Amino acid sequence: MRLVVIGVNHKTAPVALRERLALVGDDVNVALKQIEAFTDGSVIVSTCNRTEIYALVPQTSTSQPANSQLSDSQSSNVQDVKAAGQSSNNTFSSSMNISSAAISAHITKIKTWLADFKQLPLVDIDPYLYVHRDTHALTHWLRVAAGLDSMILGEPQILGQIKNSVHLAQDQKVLSNQLGWIIDQVFAAAKRVRNETQVGAQAVSLSFAAAKLVTQIFDDLPSRTLLVVAAGEMNRLVATHIAGLGVGRVIICNRNPERAEALAAELRGPNRRVDVRPLQELPQVLAEADIVSSCSGSMDLLIDKTMTIQALKRRRYQPMLMIDLAVPRDIDSTISRIDDVYLYSVDDLQHVIAGNIEQRRQAAVDAELLVSQLVVEIDRRFQVRQVGKDIQQYRACTQGQVDKLLHESIAKLQQDDVNPEDIITELSRRLTQTLTHAPSKLMRKAAREGDSELLDFVVSGLQDAHRGH
């Protein structure tokens, strides 16, 4: 397959080294162009938890004998097959042959390039680098894309990050057709893993768990209002997730108006209204909220029982979901006893997440099995795709031989005192000899060396081909 991956992640390297090996911003574009010089296409995936280079070893690596890793008899058999298409001007060379040594050499070249590009000694980073090749590289890429290799098992963000990395490679025009085909297979397979297993079905982050609660309690989200109490980082994540579900309105109450306006700018959209209100107006705006997310860091309660009861009356007792992510708590815990109010604390969400993580671990067993099956399927499709190119090349070389013999025969027919029947008969004999030489030689060699499996394969294949005509 010629696919290799070289990289580090949160399992193999400390964060200090991952920071130094990170490829972000303009570095990625420069790196892609440099790697293009010695690969048949590459994709660089660089996140906070991993930096990986996916690349195809160039086909020109077969300029050295591709059979160096085969036994003498295997190598000779391959050469016999190739001989059918050989002439002084045309040589058939299988696109599927590339030596293990050539792949290893290119892996070393990529490692050396990475060390030089990041201005680090290779000896310092090599112990932390992992390397996968061929179907092992494909398996790794699919596991990464499906979230099976992530710090948070099954998280979906990595697939989007890989897609962004692919877009960067496309923009730099460094994707070969073959690598593009492999990428399409990886994306399709990762989608199947997520759709056919439960590895990503349960929320395992506070923000995602909060968004999941919203979908379980409310429908018709465009008509719902989210109240964000405090505009810190945790609430920003929660608000982003919930807004992404399609809520029609967001109200932000915060002591710092600048921070509130910054969050409002992130959340505004063509179908979403976002208002900023001072924190002191919280009792008035509470009644407008279907969903409340609070994480202020205040030492005092911001929403008490009396305030909530008054808000419910103004809402005519329409249900409210309250999510309190603050420690100490922002929302009075006794509110959970009020009908029509669903109150979840950070501990409640953590318990949900712990159970969901265990469910994901169990689902990961099915996901890993599916990945193994999908890799086999992709590899088979790849082999069929590649042998199709080999068949085209073989036919082209054979056609070259036929054209040469035909040209010679036509030239003879133009001479005086020749018997056309003799020339046509000779042409037929030479064509038959040319087209049957390689399989005949291969059968004789297999019989001489006692390779009954190869002999049966060749003989039955040729018999089937003749029956087809």
CA 176 – CA 456 distance, rounded (Å): 38
The H or E element spanning position 8 is: strand 3-9
Catalytic: which of 48, 253, 295, 397? 48
Cα–Cα distances (Å) from 225 to 218, 275, 321, 325, 330, in that order, read: 11, 11, 11, 19, 19
Query: With contact defined as beta carbons under 8 Å apart, do 357 and 204 qualify?
Result: yes
Backbone angles phi, psi at 183, to 5 degrees: -60, -45
Residues 6 or more apart whose CB falls under 8 angstroms from that of 466 comprise none
Whether residue 253 lies in the annotated active site: no
What residues does 349 pair with on adjacent strands? none
- Residue position matching structure tokens 């990595």: 158
Instruction: Return contacts of 460-463, CB within 8 angstroms, 24+ apart.
Output: none
**C-alpha span between 160 and 211 (Å, rounded):** 19
Nearest to 207, CA basis, from 239, 184, 230: 239
Hey, what amino acid is at 299? M
H-assigned helices in 172-247:
177-196, 206-217, 233-243
Active site residues: 48
